[in-house]
Structures are given as structure tokens and as C-alpha cells.
């Protein structure tokens, strides 16, 4: 009997509960970012890679087939329709979310409905895996978007900044944007005046 090759070890590693949760968390966060910041493409690409690896490992492990992949794709399409075509949290949003959850759960087990204690335990593990990944993804998604947004705004100042923009950054009340405004001002030969009222950015006389 042949020893397991690197592909077998890779499939086994990807199918392990820990790696499965990690793939779902990263994929969920990336999808969340893409849906809330459309047009970047980075989030969609990362999500596609993570979910592709998840379903590929489950397919090779014998727990997923075209049914689960089709359900997942249909769920994502419904969510996109709900967000971009038919705004409002309605039937497409609920239906799409349910299809995605069902596809992930079915991809983690070899049955549709449990018929014995062992399958009940498998179903509980699948539910915990998907629920835990979903909670982590949607709790970390907003924070990552905020970080990305701050970096984008600061990059705009550094690349296309003006004195007025720097003053707005310094006076906005956010510590990171204030530091970015002061740094831009110093790099471009301005002096930042502090005191009562708004900060002013001027050229040295």
C-alpha cells in the first residue's frame, strides 16, 4: 500500500476543523469588505480563493459536490441582487444568506439530515464551525474596513494633499488623521500652529 503523498497531506490539512474555520473566516471577511467597498476586487479575489480551497478540499474528501457549490453560488448571487439591484433586507437577502449557510453545512458532512447519534454529532460540529466562522468574520469585517478606509484617506492626502486638506485632517478630531495632517505639513515645509480655535497650517515667513 502506497504511503500518502503531499497532496493527501494537503487535503487532510485543509479539511481539518481549524483550517476550515480559518478559510471561512478569511473568506467571510474578504467578502464582507468587497460587498461594503465595491470596486476594489481584492476582497472578491481573496474570498474566491478561500471558498475555492474550502470546497475543493471538501470535494476531494467526499463531503461536497456540485450541489453544495451550486447552492453557495446561488446564495452569493442572491446577496448581490439584494445589495446592488434590489436594495433592502428582503427575500433575496434572507434567501441568499440561508443558501450560503446550508451549502457550507452540507459541505462539511456526508448526509443531508441526521439519522443516528453519530450524524447528529457531525451536524453539531458543522453548525459550530460555520457559526463560529461567521461570527468572527462579521465581527472583524467592520474594523478591517475602517483601517482600510483610514489608510486610503491618508494616502489621498499624501499623494494629492493641499494645505486646506491638511488643516481639515488636523482639526477633524481623529488622532490618526491629525498625525497624518501634521506629518504632511512638515514634509511640505509648513508650520502647524496650535492654540485656541482651529489649528492653522502656514508657510514659515
Residues of the chain with pLDDT under 50: 203-205
Report in angstroms the alpha-carbon separations of 137 from 31, 104, 107, 149: 9, 14, 19, 18
User: What does the DSSP 8-state code read for residue 108?
Assistant: T
Specify the residue for cell string 467526499.
62
Q: Tell me what pLDDT residue 205 has.
A: 41
pTM of the model: 0.59
Q: Tell me what pLDDT residue 74 has.
A: 92
Neighbouring-strand partners of residue 200: 193
Grid cell at residue 190: 509648513
Distance in angstroms (rounded) separating the CA atoms of residues 23 and 11: 13
Per residue in 95-139, pLDDT (tens digit) is 888 898 888 888 888 887 888 888 888 888 778 777 777 776 666
Residue 24's Cβ-count burial label (10 Å; 0-12, 13-18, 19+) is buried
Specify the residue for cell string 508650520.
191
Q: Tell me what pLDDT residue 106 has.
A: 87
Query: In angstroms, how far is the first alpha carbon of the chain from the final one?
Result: 84
Q: What residue segments make up the domains of the chain, in order of their start?
A: 6-65+107-159, 161-205
Amino acid at each position: 500500500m502506497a504511503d500518502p503523498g503531499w497532496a493527501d497531506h494537503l487535503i487532510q490539512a485543509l479539511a481539518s476543523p481549524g483550517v476550515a474555520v480559518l478559510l471561512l473566516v478569511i473568506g467571510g471577511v474578504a467578502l464582507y469588505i468587497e460587498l461594503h467597498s465595491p470596486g476594489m476586487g481584492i476582497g472578491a479575489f481573496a474570498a474566491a480563493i478561500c471558498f475555492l480551497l474550502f470546497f475543493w478540499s471538501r470535494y476531494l474528501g467526499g463531503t461536497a459536490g456540485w450541489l453544495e457549490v451550486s447552492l453557495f453560488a446561488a446564495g452569493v448571487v442572491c446577496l448581490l441582487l439584494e445589495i446592488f439591484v434590489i436594495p433592502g433586507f428582503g427575500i433575496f437577502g434572507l434567501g441568499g444568506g440561508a443558501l450560503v449557510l446550508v451549502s457550507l453545512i452540507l459541505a462539511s458532512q456526508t448526509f443531508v439530515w441526521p439519522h443516528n447519534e453519530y450524524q447528529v454529532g457531525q451536524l453539531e460540529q458543522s453548525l459550530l464551525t460555520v457559526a463560529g466562522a461567521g461570527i468572527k468574520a462579521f465581527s472583524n469585517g467592520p474594523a478591517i474596513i475602517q483601517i482600510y478606509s483610514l489608510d486610503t484617506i491618508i494616502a489621498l492626502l499624501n499623494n494629492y494633499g493641499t494645505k486646506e486638506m491638511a488643516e481639515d485632517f488636523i482639526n477633524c478630531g481623529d488622532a490618526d488623521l491629525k498625525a497624518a495632517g501634521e506629518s504632511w505639513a512638515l514634509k511640505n515645509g509648513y508650520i502647524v500652529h496650535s492654540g485656541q480655535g482651529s489649528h492653522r497650517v502656514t508657510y514659515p515667513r
